[in-house]
Amino acid sequence: MTQIFTADGTVIPVTVVQAGPCLVIQKKTVEKDGYESVQIGLVESRPDRRANRAARGRFEKANVAPMRLLAEFRLDAGDELNPGDKVLCDSFHEKDSVDVIGVSKGKGFAGVVRRHHFRGGAATHGSMFHRAPGSIGPSAFPSRVYPGTRSSGRLGGRQATAKNLTVVRVDAENNLLYIKGAVPGARNSVVKIVRSGNGAAATLAAK
Protein backbone atom coordinates (compact mmCIF):
# COMPACT_ATOMS: atom_id res chain seq x y z
CA MET A 1 0.00 0.00 0.00
CA THR A 2 0.97 3.59 -0.55
CA GLN A 3 -0.74 6.95 -0.98
CA ILE A 4 -1.19 9.39 -3.81
CA PHE A 5 -2.16 13.06 -3.82
CA THR A 6 -4.81 14.67 -5.96
CA ALA A 7 -4.50 18.13 -7.51
CA ASP A 8 -6.26 19.74 -4.53
CA GLY A 9 -3.94 18.03 -2.02
CA THR A 10 -6.30 15.23 -0.94
CA VAL A 11 -4.48 12.10 0.22
CA ILE A 12 -5.86 8.81 -1.13
CA PRO A 13 -4.61 5.49 0.33
CA VAL A 14 -4.17 2.96 -2.47
CA THR A 15 -3.01 -0.60 -3.05
CA VAL A 16 -0.78 -1.07 -6.09
CA VAL A 17 -1.31 -4.36 -7.95
CA GLN A 18 0.43 -5.65 -11.05
CA ALA A 19 -2.57 -6.49 -13.20
CA GLY A 20 -1.26 -8.72 -15.93
CA PRO A 21 -0.34 -9.17 -18.62
CA CYS A 22 -2.71 -12.12 -18.89
CA LEU A 23 -3.43 -14.44 -21.80
CA VAL A 24 -6.63 -16.29 -22.66
CA ILE A 25 -6.04 -20.05 -22.37
CA GLN A 26 -9.48 -21.47 -23.10
CA LYS A 27 -12.91 -20.22 -24.13
CA LYS A 28 -16.11 -21.97 -23.05
CA THR A 29 -19.34 -21.57 -25.00
CA VAL A 30 -23.03 -22.15 -24.35
CA GLU A 31 -23.23 -24.77 -27.10
CA LYS A 32 -20.39 -26.90 -25.72
CA ASP A 33 -20.22 -26.12 -21.99
CA GLY A 34 -23.59 -24.54 -21.14
CA TYR A 35 -22.25 -21.08 -20.29
CA GLU A 36 -19.93 -18.36 -21.59
CA SER A 37 -16.56 -17.93 -19.88
CA VAL A 38 -12.86 -17.66 -20.50
CA GLN A 39 -9.91 -19.11 -18.63
CA ILE A 40 -6.97 -16.72 -18.38
CA GLY A 41 -3.45 -17.16 -17.05
CA LEU A 42 -1.07 -14.68 -15.47
CA VAL A 43 2.16 -14.28 -17.46
CA GLU A 44 5.17 -14.56 -15.13
CA SER A 45 8.88 -14.03 -15.68
CA ARG A 46 9.42 -17.71 -16.49
CA PRO A 47 7.03 -20.41 -17.77
CA ASP A 48 5.73 -23.18 -15.55
CA ARG A 49 8.09 -26.15 -15.92
CA ARG A 50 6.00 -28.44 -13.72
CA ALA A 51 2.92 -28.55 -15.95
CA ASN A 52 1.86 -32.12 -16.73
CA ARG A 53 1.19 -33.42 -20.22
CA ALA A 54 -2.55 -32.79 -20.05
CA ALA A 55 -2.01 -29.15 -19.05
CA ARG A 56 0.70 -28.67 -21.65
CA GLY A 57 -1.73 -29.89 -24.31
CA ARG A 58 -4.21 -27.13 -23.42
CA PHE A 59 -1.48 -24.48 -23.50
CA GLU A 60 -0.16 -25.71 -26.83
CA LYS A 61 -3.69 -25.63 -28.26
CA ALA A 62 -3.90 -21.95 -27.29
CA ASN A 63 -0.34 -21.42 -28.60
CA VAL A 64 0.90 -19.96 -25.30
CA ALA A 65 3.60 -20.97 -22.82
CA PRO A 66 2.56 -22.98 -19.73
CA MET A 67 1.39 -20.82 -16.81
CA ARG A 68 1.12 -21.49 -13.11
CA LEU A 69 -1.73 -19.15 -12.13
CA LEU A 70 -5.08 -19.65 -13.89
CA ALA A 71 -8.60 -18.36 -13.23
CA GLU A 72 -11.96 -18.55 -14.99
CA PHE A 73 -14.28 -15.60 -15.49
CA ARG A 74 -17.80 -15.37 -16.88
CA LEU A 75 -18.40 -13.36 -20.02
CA ASP A 76 -21.19 -10.95 -20.82
CA ALA A 77 -23.07 -11.07 -24.09
CA GLY A 78 -21.05 -9.38 -26.80
CA ASP A 79 -17.63 -9.90 -25.21
CA GLU A 80 -15.18 -11.34 -27.71
CA LEU A 81 -12.09 -13.07 -26.32
CA ASN A 82 -10.36 -16.01 -27.96
CA PRO A 83 -7.46 -18.27 -26.93
CA GLY A 84 -4.18 -16.39 -27.23
CA ASP A 85 -5.73 -12.91 -26.77
CA LYS A 86 -4.13 -10.55 -24.26
CA VAL A 87 -5.99 -9.21 -21.23
CA LEU A 88 -4.29 -6.06 -19.95
CA CYS A 89 -4.95 -3.62 -17.14
CA ASP A 90 -6.38 -1.10 -19.62
CA SER A 91 -9.59 -3.18 -19.48
CA PHE A 92 -10.30 -0.94 -16.48
CA HIS A 93 -10.55 2.83 -16.33
CA GLU A 94 -10.26 5.43 -13.63
CA LYS A 95 -13.27 5.65 -11.30
CA ASP A 96 -14.36 2.12 -12.23
CA SER A 97 -15.88 0.16 -9.35
CA VAL A 98 -14.26 -3.26 -8.89
CA ASP A 99 -14.43 -6.30 -6.61
CA VAL A 100 -11.12 -7.80 -5.49
CA ILE A 101 -11.10 -11.50 -4.53
CA GLY A 102 -8.19 -13.02 -2.65
CA VAL A 103 -7.17 -15.22 0.28
CA SER A 104 -7.04 -13.30 3.53
CA LYS A 105 -3.94 -13.34 5.73
CA GLY A 106 -3.74 -16.40 7.97
CA LYS A 107 -3.51 -15.33 11.63
CA GLY A 108 -3.49 -18.68 13.39
CA PHE A 109 -5.66 -19.80 16.30
CA ALA A 110 -7.90 -17.07 17.74
CA GLY A 111 -10.64 -16.83 20.33
CA VAL A 112 -14.23 -15.75 19.80
CA VAL A 113 -13.61 -12.11 20.73
CA ARG A 114 -11.03 -11.63 18.01
CA ARG A 115 -12.46 -14.10 15.51
CA HIS A 116 -16.19 -13.31 15.74
CA HIS A 117 -16.16 -9.96 17.58
CA PHE A 118 -17.95 -11.26 20.69
CA ARG A 119 -18.38 -8.52 23.28
CA GLY A 120 -17.07 -10.53 26.22
CA GLY A 121 -18.05 -10.23 29.85
CA ALA A 122 -17.50 -7.67 32.57
CA ALA A 123 -13.91 -6.71 33.36
CA THR A 124 -14.43 -5.86 37.06
CA HIS A 125 -16.58 -6.61 40.16
CA GLY A 126 -15.17 -10.10 40.58
CA SER A 127 -16.29 -11.29 37.17
CA MET A 128 -14.65 -14.49 36.00
CA PHE A 129 -16.22 -14.28 32.55
CA HIS A 130 -14.06 -12.09 30.28
CA ARG A 131 -13.36 -13.53 26.83
CA ALA A 132 -15.18 -16.88 26.94
CA PRO A 133 -17.94 -17.73 24.43
CA GLY A 134 -20.61 -18.51 27.06
CA SER A 135 -23.17 -21.30 26.72
CA ILE A 136 -22.85 -23.14 23.39
CA GLY A 137 -24.92 -26.29 24.04
CA PRO A 138 -27.06 -26.73 27.22
CA SER A 139 -27.02 -30.18 28.80
CA ALA A 140 -30.82 -30.64 28.90
CA PHE A 141 -31.56 -29.60 25.32
CA PRO A 142 -30.10 -29.97 22.74
CA SER A 143 -27.40 -31.83 24.73
CA ARG A 144 -24.93 -31.13 21.97
CA VAL A 145 -23.31 -28.29 20.07
CA TYR A 146 -25.04 -27.40 16.80
CA PRO A 147 -22.86 -27.55 13.68
CA GLY A 148 -21.76 -24.08 12.62
CA THR A 149 -21.81 -22.62 16.13
CA ARG A 150 -19.35 -19.75 16.27
CA SER A 151 -16.34 -20.76 18.33
CA SER A 152 -12.60 -20.32 18.56
CA GLY A 153 -10.42 -21.64 15.74
CA ARG A 154 -8.26 -20.63 12.84
CA LEU A 155 -8.61 -17.01 11.80
CA GLY A 156 -8.02 -15.92 8.21
CA GLY A 157 -6.58 -17.94 5.38
CA ARG A 158 -9.92 -18.04 3.56
CA GLN A 159 -11.31 -16.48 0.41
CA ALA A 160 -12.40 -12.90 0.99
CA THR A 161 -13.92 -10.30 -1.33
CA ALA A 162 -13.51 -6.54 -1.02
CA LYS A 163 -16.45 -5.06 -2.91
CA ASN A 164 -17.01 -1.76 -4.69
CA LEU A 165 -13.44 -0.48 -4.54
CA THR A 166 -12.52 2.41 -6.82
CA VAL A 167 -9.78 2.38 -9.44
CA VAL A 168 -7.84 5.58 -8.84
CA ARG A 169 -5.17 5.27 -11.52
CA VAL A 170 -4.31 2.96 -14.44
CA ASP A 171 -0.65 2.65 -15.48
CA ALA A 172 -0.96 0.72 -18.75
CA GLU A 173 2.76 1.00 -19.52
CA ASN A 174 3.76 -0.91 -16.38
CA ASN A 175 0.54 -2.99 -16.02
CA LEU A 176 -0.27 -1.40 -12.66
CA LEU A 177 -3.64 -0.64 -11.09
CA TYR A 178 -3.97 1.76 -8.16
CA ILE A 179 -7.02 0.67 -6.16
CA LYS A 180 -8.40 2.80 -3.35
CA GLY A 181 -8.13 1.18 0.08
CA ALA A 182 -6.90 -2.25 1.13
CA VAL A 183 -7.45 -5.56 -0.66
CA PRO A 184 -7.39 -9.11 0.77
CA GLY A 185 -4.14 -11.03 1.08
CA ALA A 186 -0.50 -10.57 1.95
CA ARG A 187 2.18 -8.96 -0.18
CA ASN A 188 3.09 -10.86 -3.36
CA SER A 189 -0.17 -12.82 -3.19
CA VAL A 190 -2.47 -13.22 -6.20
CA VAL A 191 -5.94 -11.68 -6.41
CA LYS A 192 -8.75 -11.66 -8.96
CA ILE A 193 -10.18 -8.31 -10.02
CA VAL A 194 -13.64 -8.08 -11.61
CA ARG A 195 -15.80 -5.10 -12.43
CA SER A 196 -18.51 -4.71 -9.80
CA GLY A 197 -21.98 -5.82 -10.80
CA ASN A 198 -21.58 -7.61 -14.12
CA GLY A 199 -17.95 -8.69 -14.03
CA ALA A 200 -17.47 -7.93 -17.71
CA ALA A 201 -13.86 -6.88 -17.21
CA ALA A 202 -11.67 -9.20 -15.15
CA THR A 203 -8.02 -10.00 -14.63
CA LEU A 204 -5.49 -11.73 -12.40
CA ALA A 205 -3.14 -9.50 -10.45
CA ALA A 206 -0.19 -9.79 -8.10
CA LYS A 207 -0.02 -7.53 -5.07
pLDDT for the residue 167: 94
Q: Which of 102-111, 134-143, 166-175: highest mean pLDDT?
A: 102-111
Residue 70 above 70 pLDDT? Answer: yes
Mean per-residue pLDDT for 129-154?
Answer: 91
Closest CA to 17 of 198, 175, 172: 175
Mean per-residue pLDDT for 93-122?
Answer: 94
Does residue 58 sit in helix, strand or coil?
Answer: helix
Neighbours of 9 (CB within 10 A): 6
CA separation for the pair 130, 69 (Å, rounded): 45
pLDDT for the residue 77: 62
Q: Which of 44-58, 73-87, 95-109, 192-206: highest mean pLDDT?
A: 95-109
Residue 105: DSSP 8-state: P
CB 172 within 8 A of CB 88: yes
CATH assignment, 2-106+161-206: 3.30.160.810
pLDDT band for position 170 (cuts 50, 70, 90): very high
At residue 167, φ and ψ (nearest 5 deg) are -80, 115
Q: What percent of the chain has pLDDT over 90?
A: 47
Q: Where in the chain is the domain with CATH 3.30.160.810?
A: 2-106+161-206
Does residue 113 sit in helix, strand or coil?
Answer: helix
* Residue bearing the bigger pLDDT, 197 or 87: 87
pLDDT for the residue 37: 85
